[in-house]
Amino acid sequence: MLVTVLGRYSPYAPVGGACPGLLVQARGVALMLDGGPGTVARLQMQVPAAHLTAVLVSHLHHDHIADLHCLQYLMADQAPGREPLPIYAPGGDNPDRRWLEPSSFGARWVRLLPLPVDEGLAVGPLRVTFARTDHPEPCWAMRITDGCRTLVYTADTGAGVDLAPFARGADLLIAESTFVAANGQNRRGHLTAAEAADLALRAGVGRLLLTHFLPSTPAAEAEAEARAIFPPAEAAVEMRTYPV
Ligand SMILES: [Zn+2]
Ligand SMILES: [Zn+2]
Number of domains, the chain: 1
Confidence tier at 185 by pLDDT (50, 70, 90): confident
Give the distance (Å) from ligand 2 centre to CA of residue 82: 30
Domain region containing 21: 2-243
Q: What residues have a C-beta under 5 A from ligand 2, the ion?
A: 10, 63, 156
Judge whether residue 187 has pLDDT over 90: no
The CATH number given to whatever domain includes residue 52 is: 3.60.15.10
> What confidence score (pLDDT) does residue 93 get?
83
pLDDT in tens, 62-113: 999 999 999 999 999 999 999 999 999 998 788 999 999 999 999 999 999 9
pLDDT in tens, 110-152: 999 999 999 999 999 999 999 999 999 999 999 999 999 999 9
Give the distance (Å) from ligand 1 centre to CA of residue 21: 13
Give the distance (Å) from ligand 2 centre to CA of residue 58: 9
pLDDT in tens, 29-63: 999 999 999 999 999 999 999 999 999 999 999 99
pLDDT in tens, 215-240: 999 999 999 999 999 999 999 999 99
Give the distance (Å) from ligand 2 centre to CA of residue 10: 6
Give the distance (Å) from ligand 1 centre to CA of residue 161: 15
Give the distance (Å) from ligand 2 centre to CA of residue 61: 6
Interval 176-192 mean pLDDT: 92
d(CA 49, CA 23): 12
